[in-house]
């Protein structure tokens, strides 16, 4: 049987998403000033390089901690941040030399801090100037699907169990949008609670970001519900011209076997192809989550974790960790 016949029918989105609000100074949606205003209002700044009155490189960062223990980092709702560098039109050696120069200038312009910790976008795999300045580079992986427009190949690339889950879910569930942040957060919270983890952000913070994404038409909250109106799973996808990102997702604990989560991933990919040809699962290297992502035929894509810590900051982190472990035992 052909993949075209097997693949679940996917309705067209109510509107064709547009990666609006993009600027010439950002590779990803996470680097956009409006995104940073939403996830870290009043706590983010940036350093830039200028040529001829225009910005040719920038590095946004989020400020955390108090004076004496200041950290330059990123928000928990932001998988990657890091620098943006204007693409050079010179030959390869010249382009790399210019990139080295701009990255070194960005690093040297950062304000004094006791720690730096960011995950750079997969678009920036050159962090040698940071390494030369004493930073630690660690390789990490996200999982990505390319050629979203090739629906038949995409369907054929799914693990057999994933295809069965999608078919099963399609028989009893519908995928809808805009049931509200409160409904989304309720399911998300139960997911984290089942794993013994705190929800990474409050409902107010997620609502602020969702509102910003909706105004810029770069995101969609999806809900899989049954005929009684009960929501089985949720997924939040945001996008730019480079990729669509599987930002947050959750499932009702007692309904996890309905196949709803797999169905939502498929529907998210079908919507994302109107804007981009890449679907990024937004991490993770946690083994069970990695296995789920791999079931969709996604491929490992490297990105860099870039860190630097003063000895006093590292000692403070160890002391806090020891205190938290001690408190947990009492």
pLDDT digits (tens, 9 = 90+) for 194-238: 888 888 789 999 999 999 999 999 999 999 999 999 999 999 999
Residue 200 domain-assigned?
yes
Residues 75/40, Cβ–Cβ less than 8 Å: yes
- Name, in order, each residue with C-beta under 8 angstroms of 323's C-beta and a sequence gap of 6 or more: none
- CA dihedral over 50, 51, 55, 59, signed as positive or negative: negative
In angstroms, the first-to-last Cα distance of the chain is 60
Residue 4: pLDDT above 70?
A: no
What is the chain's mean pLDDT, rounded?
A: 87
- Contact between residue 105 and residue 59 where contact means Cβ atoms under 8 Å apart: no
> Does residue 298 share a domain with residue 149?
yes
Neighbouring residues of 123: CB distance < 8 A, sequence distance ≥ 6: 27, 28, 242
Residues 297, 200, single domain; the answer is yes
The whole-number pLDDT of residue 316 equals 65
- Is residue 66 in a domain? yes
Range of the domain at 281: 3-19+143-302
Of 199, 196, 194, nearest in space to 253 by CA: 194
Are 244 and 310 contained in the same domain? Answer: no
Judge if 148 and 205 occupy the same domain.
Answer: yes
Confidence at residue 311, expressed as pLDDT on a 0 to 100 scale: 82
Burial class (CB in 10 A: 0-12, 13-18, 19+), 15: exposed
- Residue 329: predicted pLDDT: 46
Same-domain pairing of 311 and 290: no
- DSSP-assigned letter for residue 9: P
- Residue 155 burial class via C-beta count within 10 angstroms: exposed 0-12, middle 13-18, buried 19 and up: buried
Both 107 and 152 in a single domain? no
- Same domain for 155 and 12: yes
SS3 for 239-288 is ECCCCEEEEEEEECHHHHHHCHHHHHHHHHHHHHCCCCCEEECCCCCCHH
Distances (CA, A) of 283 to 210, 213, 323: 20, 20, 29
User: What CATH number corresponds to the domain at position 133?
Assistant: 3.40.630
In a domain? residue 180: yes
Asked whether residue 199 falls in the same domain as residue 135, the answer is no
Q: What is the pLDDT of residue 17?
A: 41
Q: What is the DSSP letter of 22?
A: -
CA atoms within a 13 Å half-sphere pointing along the CA-CB vector of 265: 28
The predicted structure's pLDDT at residue 8: 43
Contact partners, residue 39, CB within 8 Å, separation at least 6: 62, 75, 77, 78, 205, 209
Residues 133, 196: one domain? no
Question: What is the pLDDT at residue 289?
Answer: 80
Number of domains in the chain: 2
CA distances from 20 to 23, 83, 240, 256 (A): 9, 21, 8, 35
In a domain, 71, yes or no: yes
Residue 24: inside a domain: no
Residue 80 domain-assigned? yes
Residues 82 and 206 in one domain: no
- Are 205 and 86 within one domain? no
Co-location of 106 and 187 in the same domain: no
Percent of all residues in the chain with a pLDDT value above 90, rounded to a whole number:
70
Say yes or no to pLDDT of 88 above 70: yes
* Nearest residue to 219 via CA among 193, 188, 240, 200: 240
3-class SS of residue 154: helix
pLDDT tens, 284-324? 767 878 888 889 999 999 999 999 998 877 766 665 654 44
Let me know: does 320 contact 159? Beta carbons within 8 Å: no
What would the pLDDT profile of 114-172 be if each residue is shown by its tens digit? 999 999 999 999 999 999 999 999 999 999 999 999 999 999 999 999 999 999 999 99
Structure confidence at residue 16 (pLDDT): 34
Q: What is the pLDDT of residue 10?
A: 43
Q: What is the CATH number of the domain that holds 157?
A: 3.40.630.30
């Amino acid at each position: 049987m052909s993949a075209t016949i097997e693949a679940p029918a996917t309705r067209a989105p109510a509107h064709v998403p547009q990666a609006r609000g993009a600027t010439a100074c950002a590779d990803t949606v996470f680097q956009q000033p409006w995104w940073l205003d939403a996830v870290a209002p009043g706590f983010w700044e940036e350093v830039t390089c200028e040529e001829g009155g225009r910005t040719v490189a920038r590095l946004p960062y989020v400020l955390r901690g108090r004076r004496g223990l200041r950290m330059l980092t990123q928000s928990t709702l932001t998988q990657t941040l890091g620098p943006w560098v204007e693409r050079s039109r010179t030959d390869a050696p010249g382009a790399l030399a210019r990139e080295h120069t701009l990255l070194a200038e960005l690093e040297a312009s950062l304000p004094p801090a006791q720690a730096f910790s960011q995950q750079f976008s997969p678009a920036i795999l050159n962090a040698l100037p940071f390494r030369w300045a004493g930073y630690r580079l660690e390789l990490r992986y996200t999982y990505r699907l390319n050629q979203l427009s090739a629906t038949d190949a995409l369907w054929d690339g799914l693990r057999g169990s994933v295809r069965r889950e999608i078919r099963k879910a399609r028989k009893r569930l519908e995928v809808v949008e805009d049931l509200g942040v409160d409904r989304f957060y309720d399911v998300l919270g139960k997911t984290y609670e089942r794993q013994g983890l705190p929800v990474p952000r409050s409902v107010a913070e997620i609502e602020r970001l969702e509102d910003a994404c909706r105004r810029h038409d770069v995101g969609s909250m999806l809900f899989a519900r049954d005929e009684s109106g009960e929501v089985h799973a949720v997924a939040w996808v945001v996008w730019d011209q480079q990729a669509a990102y599987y930002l947050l997702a959750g499932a009702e604990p007692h309904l996890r076997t309905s196949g709803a989560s797999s169905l939502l991933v498929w529907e998210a990919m079908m919507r994302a192809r109107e804007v981009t040809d890449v679907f990024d699962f937004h991490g993770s290297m946690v083994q069970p989550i990695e296995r789920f992502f791999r079931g969709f035929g996604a491929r490992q894509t490297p990105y860099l974790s870039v860190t630097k810590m003063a000895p006093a900051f590292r000692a403070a982190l160890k002391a806090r960790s020891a205190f938290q472990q001690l408190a947990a035992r009492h």
